[in-house]
Chain A
Amino acid sequence: MALGLAASAVAAEVPGGDRRSGYDFMSRETRAMQDDDTANPGMLWVLEGGALWSRKTGRAGRACGDCHGDARASMKGVAARHPAFDAAQGRPINLEQRINACRTGRQGAPPLAYESRELLALAAYVARQSRGLPIEIAIDPRTRSFLDAGRTIYDRRQGQLNLACGQCHDANWGRQLAGNVIPQAHPTGYPLYRLEWQGLGSLQRRLRNCMVGIRAEPYEYGAPELVQLELYLMWRARGMMFEAPAVRP
Chain B
Amino acid sequence: MASALINVPARARRGEIIEIKTLISHTMETGFRRTQLGALIPRDIIRRFVCTYNGTEVFRAELHPAISANPFIVFSTVAVESGTVEFHWTGDNGFAVTQSTPILVE
Say whether, besides A43-B5, A44-B70, A199-B69, A38 and B21 are in contact (CB < 8 Å).
yes
Count, A-B residue pairs, CB within 8 A: 39
For residue B70, give the distance in angstroms from its CB to the closest CB of chain A. 5
A43 to B5, CA, bound (A): 8
- Which of A44, A117, A195 is packed against the most chain B CB atoms within 10 Å? A44
Q: Which residues of A contact B69 (CB under 8 A)?
A: 198-199
Q: Is the CB of B68 within 8 A of A44?
A: no
Q: Is the CB of B21 within 8 A of A44?
A: no
Say whether, besides A38-B5, A38-B7, A44 and B25 are in contact (CB < 8 Å).
yes
Any B CB within 8 A of the CB of A47? yes
A38 to B69, CA, bound (A): 15
8 Å CB contact of A47 from B5, B7, B27, B68: B5
Any B CB within 8 A of the CB of A113? no
For residue A74, give the distance in angstroms from its CB to the closest CB of chain B. 23
Q: How many residues of B contact A (CB 8 A)?
A: 16
Encode A38-63 as 1/0 by CB contact (under 8 A) with B: 11010110011001000000000000
Say whether, besides A38-B21, A39-B23, A44 and B72 are in contact (CB < 8 Å).
no
Encode A123-146 as 1/0 by CB contact (under 8 A) with B: 000000000000000000000000
**CB nearest neighbor in B for A47:** B3
For residue A42, give the distance in angstroms from its CB to the closest CB of chain B. 10
Any A CB within 8 A of the CB of B6? yes
Q: Is the CB of A41 within 8 A of B21?
A: no
Any A CB within 8 A of the CB of B39? no
Q: Which residues of B contact A38 (CB under 8 A)?
A: 5-7, 21, 23
Any A CB within 8 A of the CB of B37? no
8 Å CB contact of A41 from B1, B6, B72: B72
Measured CB to CB, the residues of B under 8 A from A are 1, 3-7, 21, 23-25, 27-28, 68-70, 72
Measured CB to CB, the residues of A under 8 A from B are 36-39, 41, 43-44, 47-48, 51, 117, 195, 198-199
